[in-house]
Amino acid sequence: MAAVTRGSFSALRRLLSQQYRRRCFRLQNFRPVRNLQPLAFTCDRNLQMFSRRTLHSTAVSRGPIVQFKLSDIGEGIMEVTVKEWYVKEGDKVSQFDSICEVQSDKASVTITSRYDGVIRKLYYDVDATALVGKPLVDIETESGSEEIKGHKTQATPSVRRLAMENNIKLSEVVGTGKDGRILKEDILNFLAKQTGAILPPTPFQEIQTPGPGPAAAARPASTPAAVTPPPSTPRPVFTGKDVTEPLKGFHRAMVKTMTAALMIPHFGYCDDVDLSRLVGLRSELRSVAEGRGVKLSYMPFFIKAASLSLLHFPILNASVDEGCQNITYKASHNIGLAMDTSQGLLVPNVKNVQLLSVFEIAQELNRLQTLGSAGQLGTSDLTGGTFTLSNIGSIGGTYAKPVILPPEVAIGALGKIQVLPRFSTGGQVVPAHIMKVSWSADHRIIDGATMCRFSNLWREYLENPASMVLDLK
């Protein structure tokens, strides 16, 4: 009996223990609501620590703020005028990206970035004067960004602008020009490979040869002449006060150049040139050149004839020092063309004309005229000239008194082409295309006979353009 009682009691105790454990387990399942709060707090702390770590790592990835200084652009230029900003504060830039365009007294130059980073400060406004060696912008560089050293992308401002307008990095373009210079064709080819797009060439104005107009006497006397109203011109705006502003850029350069030119004793010589045969030749070749994408004017013939004549009179392709103690005979014929632009008088030059054909000269003139119209002529285009021609006739006028551009020793001014009556070899009066030419020479080293012989040879080449073929190389 006692054994049975002890066994029953042990079984009852085991049963009660199991029920107690089950109830305790169920009670624990009802308590997690309180335990969730510390868990949530722990997650918030972890999130805060993660955020702090993220911000810390972000701050570490930023580099120092570097003062991007205006570097020396050559030719002894100490200050420039900021013409246009391509970035603003907060913009992100990469290496070789265009930052701004500046204009010196010689040329317009596009300044490119040497860093990867963010623009934090612009030191100058548009039209302000920036000094060489002084800060231009502040760039917050990225971590690991290194300054470009020992590498310079060679491209003209117009090529850089074309690349910027089409979101092309110059570092990705392979230049086919001299010393790896990137040409406009390289940008167009790169763009065509990427998108298949083709950009049209920029048109330029060409001098048209006047044709012989109908005689005024052929009009019947009874028919009254049509009255042409005068062209409307904008009325001047009267501000009521005088405005004084400093001379900048090309205007300041003109003051220096013309002041030095007035110290040169000029010798003048004028002549007439019959271009009738050249007019016929150019009309035949014009369509051929246009088929190759080049506008052919009379200027390439004038320039090539000058180069052929300079081979016989090298003293006209020379330069003298300031004291006129030494004379240097130039091997290259870098013939300049005085060009009227919105920025003033510019004289870009065609390099090594003695090695170029008439067609190649026309190609280079097309390029220079396009850059001049856009105000994007570079320093290399405006320096190094040895002889100059001024096509004043494209605007009007016949004779002129051109001013020599030192250190050169001669210059020619070309008047407009007129259809005038002339006697033929048979004694008949015939219409002829006549152009006046005016020469100026440095009379300290060039006498009148030399200038006259040079002009006669130049005129012979133009009046008989077939004779140029004998001397072409």
Sign of CA dihedral 13, 16, 18, 24: negative
Domains of the chain (ranges, CATH numbers): 65-141 (2.40.50.100), 265-470 (3.30.559.10)
Cα–Cα distance measured from residue 89 to residue 145, given in angstroms and rounded to the nearest whole number = 19
φ/ψ (deg, to 5) at 144: 90, -5
Tell me the angle at which helices 184-195 and 157-165 cross, rounded to the nearest 10 degrees: 10
Catalytic position from the list 44, 72, 127, 447: 447
d(CA 365, CA 142): 43
| CB proximity list for 140: less than 8 A, separation 6 or greater | 62, 63, 64, 65, 66, 117, 118, 120
Write down the pLDDT at residue 288: 93
Q: Is 56 a catalytic residue?
A: no
Phi, psi of 210 (to 5 degrees): -70, 135
Give the model confidence (pLDDT) of 154-190 as tens digits. 677 677 777 777 777 777 777 777 667 787 777 877 7
Residue entry with tokens 């707090």: 41
Taking each helix axis from N to C terminus, what angle separates 448-463 and 276-291, rounded to the nearest 10 degrees? Answer: 60
pLDDT digits (tens, 9 = 90+) for 265-317: 999 999 999 999 999 999 999 999 999 999 999 999 999 999 999 999 999 99
How far apart, in whole angstroms, are the C-alpha atoms of residue 65 and residue 215?
75
The per-residue pLDDT for 161 is: 74
Q: Is 447 a catalytic residue?
A: yes
Cis preceding linkage at 407, omega within 30: yes
Instruction: Note the Cα 448 to chain centre separation in Å.
Output: 40
Identify which has the larger pLDDT, 306 or 82: 306
Maximum distance among all Cα pairs of the chain, rounded to whole angstroms: 169
Instruction: Give the whole-angstrom CA distance, residue 165 versus residue 196.
Output: 16
Contact 337, 391 (CB under 8 A): yes
How confident is the model at residue 179, as a pLDDT?
65
- Supply 466's token pair: 């077939």
Alpha-carbon distance of 358 to 304, in angstroms, equals 7
pLDDT in tens, 306-357: 999 999 999 999 999 888 899 999 999 999 998 887 777 789 999 999 999 9
pLDDT at 45 (0 to 100): 45
* Cα 442 from Cα 465, distance rounded (Å): 29
Tell me which residue of 443, 369, 389 sits closest to 273, measured CA to CA: 389
Residue 106's pLDDT is: 66
Letter for the amino acid at 414?
A: L
The mean predicted confidence, pLDDT, of the chain is: 78
Structure tokens at 296: 């052919």
Catalytic residue chosen out of the listed positions 271, 272, 443, 471: 443
